[in-house]
Amino acid sequence: MADVTSNLQLWCKYNGNSLDSSGNNRNGTIWNNPSYTESGVDLELSSTQFIQYTPTLGIDNVSAISFYLLLRPESLSDFQILASKQASNTFRSTLHTGGSGQGSNANWVAQLCNNNTSFGRTTSNPVEAGVDLAVAMVFDGSLTGNSNRLKVYTWKASTGVVAETLTFSGTVPATTAANTTTAFRIGNASTFYFDGLIKEARVYSRAITQDDFTALVALGDSAVDEVGNPDRGPIYSPIFSSVLAPVFSPMRVS
């Protein structure tokens, strides 16, 4: 049975703010003076803007984590960062697009490094500019073998939910790095950013399943915001409904 709530450490819907809807009160800080769109709902961010969260998300030195995001890239370029907790290149948990040495920028790269440089990358070109997407990076260090420890699930209208086949480099470790003083960021790591719209981000301190991912995608616009109002986006309830909702209310990062 699908579970979208247990071990949820962070849930941000970016309906004009970076508040945490998980109940853990881990609200984000918006860096570098973003502005609102005309509707007063969407956050419009430039190429040096990102959202930063507390270092204490329950995902340091643990054997399982998951990052889940709903998004719409506006362009394809190397090393666009979706989610990252990074102390250095060898101590990080990061989800980003490919680049030199890590495949094409039409693919996702899931990096799980604990004193090493291991990663898994997709090869099916699931990233498309101007297309609504969902993606999850899932780590379970209690299992053995790279393909069991690190997974990527994707969704877009043209393919549905896909459990991606990953090409690996290095050995995925059994635990995440102990980056206890490193902030978690959406849309940035080092000098790399994300160009596009981010509708929703969730962080779990467990390995979500493919059924969980499918259920998250299916929620679409059915979520309820912090004050009990129906969520305003995205423009579809992707799997179970073909009815278009009137507003896509994401955060814009460019």
> 39 or 77: which carries more pLDDT confidence?
77
- Supply the CATH classification number for the domain 8-253: 2.60.120.200
DSSP 8-state assignment for residue 176: -
Mean pLDDT value of segment 12-33: 86
Contact 94, 115 (CB under 8 A): no
The answer on pLDDT for 116 being more than 80 is yes
- State residue 44's pLDDT score: 58
pLDDT value at 135 more than 80: yes
Six-digit token string for 120:
């898994």
Task: Tell me the β-bridge partners of 189.
Answer: 192
Task: Point out the least confidently predicted range of 101-105, 135-139, 195-199.
Answer: 195-199
The DSSP annotation for 21-76 comes to -SSS----EEES--EE-TTS-SEEE-TT-EEEE-S-SS-SS-SEEEEEEEEEESS-
Residue carrying structure tokens 């998300």:
57
pLDDT of 25 > 90? The answer is yes
**131 against 233, higher pLDDT:** 131
Name the region of 237 (left: φ>0; alpha: ψ -120 to 50; beta: rest): beta
- The segment with the largest mean pLDDT, out of 87-91, 113-117, 205-209, 228-232, is 205-209
